[in-house]
Structure 1
Amino acid sequence: MTAALRSRVAALPTDLVLAGFVVACFVLAASIALSIPEGLGNAPDAVKETFRATLVTPAVLMTILVSALYAGFDYTLALRRGVVVRETTAQRRGAVLAARALLAGGGGAVVGLACGAGTLVAGGVAGAGWTPAPSLLGSAAVAGALAASWGFAIGVIVRHHLVALFVVPASLGVAVPFASLVPGAASILPLPTLLGAVGVDAGTLGFAADIAAVPLVAGWIILGLGVAVVRFVSRDVT
C-alpha cells in the first residue's frame, strides 16, 4: 500500500478536483455572512452566543454534504478517466483502494477546514470582529473526513459518475424527510449520526438527540467501506 499511497500523495499538488471543492466550500460557508444581522458585534454576549449556535449546524451540515460529494465525485471521475485502471495495473487492488480511501478522508478534512474557515471569516466580517468558536475548525475537519469516507464508499459501490452525483447526497439527505415521520428511526441514519459524532445537536433538524452517534457512524462507514471493498475486488474496474 505504501507505493500506492506515495503515488496518490504525489498527485495532490495537481489535484484540481480537491482544489475546486475547497474553494467552493469556503465560498459557500463565507456566504453565511449574508444571514448575519448588521451590528451583531455590538450586541450583548448572550445574543452573540445564541446566534453563534445557529451558525454551527448549517456550517457542519454543509461540510458533510460537500465533503461526501467531493469523495464520490473524485473516485468516479478517476474511474471514468481510466486512472483507477492504470493504478490497478501497477499495484494490487487492495492497496489501490486503501490508498484512495485514506486520501479521500484526508481530502474531506481539508474541505471541512475550508468550510470552517469560511464560516469564521463570515462571522468576523459581518459580526464586526466577532467570530464563531475556533473549535468549529476541528469539528468541520472531523466531519469532512468522516463524510468523505462515506461518500467514497458510495462512489465505489455506484461506480457511475453522474449517478453518484445524485446518490451520494441522497444517501445523506434521505434522513431529513423521514425525521418528521419517524424521528427515532431517522436519527440512526448516516446524516444525523455524522452530525452527532462531531458534537452538533441534530435535534435542531428534527432528529432525536439522545443517540449513540459515534458507534453508529462508525458502523455506517465500516459497512459502506466493506461493501465497497467487495464491489471493488470482485468487479472489473474498466
Structure 2
Amino acid sequence: MSDRIPVRNPNEIAKLRKAGEVAARILMDLMPEVVAGRTTREIDEFAAELFKRERCGNAFLGYGGFPGQLCISVNEEVIHGIGGDRVIRDGDVVSLDVGTIVDGWYGDNAMTVPVGQVDPDTLKLLAVTEESLFRAIAEAKQGGSLADVCGAVEDFVKPFGFGIVRDFVGHGVGRHLHEEPNVPNYRPNHKLPRLKRGMVLAIEPMVNAGTFRVKVLDDKWTTVTADGKPSAHFEHTVAVSSHGGEILTERPRIALPEQLGIAPL
C-alpha cells in the first residue's frame, strides 16, 4: 500500500500548509460562536461568511451530497452533524470539523468545544482525546510505522476506559479530501506501511465516553454514539518529517494535559 501513498515535495507541503492555515483560522473564528442559545444552523451560516472572507473553497459542502458548510456535532453526535434547529445549551460539547480548498490543495481539521459548565467527566474525555492526537502526531516520523501512529491513540486512550470509534478513521489528504492511507485510531491486526518524509495525514481521534459503537441517523450523515453518551473529535493535518508530524493546521489547544495529571509532549 505504501506505493499508493503520495509523497509531497517541499513546495507541495507549503501549499498544503497554506490550506491548513486557512482551515485552522476558520475553525478558531467559529469557536467563539459556539455559545448557549445559538442554533447549529446559525453557526453553519456564520461559517459560510468565513469561507467567503477567506476566498477559499469548501471541502465539505456538496461532498457526496453533504449539505452543510462544516460538520457540527453536538454531545452524542460523533461526526458529520448537519447544521439545523438544534439549540446549543450550557454544558454541551460541540465538535466542529472544517475542510478547505486553496489553489487545489486541501486542509482538514477538527476540535470539540465545551460550552459553559461542562461535566468534569466530559471535560476529561475532551482532554484525553486531544492528547491522544498529539501522541499520534509524535509518531508520524520518517521510517516509523503507520501502525505506531494508530496505536499511539489506542495506547493512550484505552486505560481511561473510553470507547475508540472503529467505523470511521483518519486518512491521507492532499489534492483530494480523502487519499491513501486510512489512519485508524487503533492498531490493526494487519501490517501497515512504513512512513516516508512528505506523506500527509489527517489524524483524527474520535473517542466516546461509553461504547465504541456508533450508528448513522436517517439523514445518512449524522453519526451518533450507540448508547447516547458524549463523544469528542480532534483532528490535525500533519506532514511526516524526520522528527515527527509537522502540524499544517496549527492552532491553540483546547484542553491541557495538566488536567490529566500528565506532562505535555
TM score, norm. by length of structure 2: 0.30
TM score, norm. by length of structure 1: 0.33
Largest Rg, 1 or 2: 1
Q: Considering fraction of residues, name the structure with more helix.
A: 1
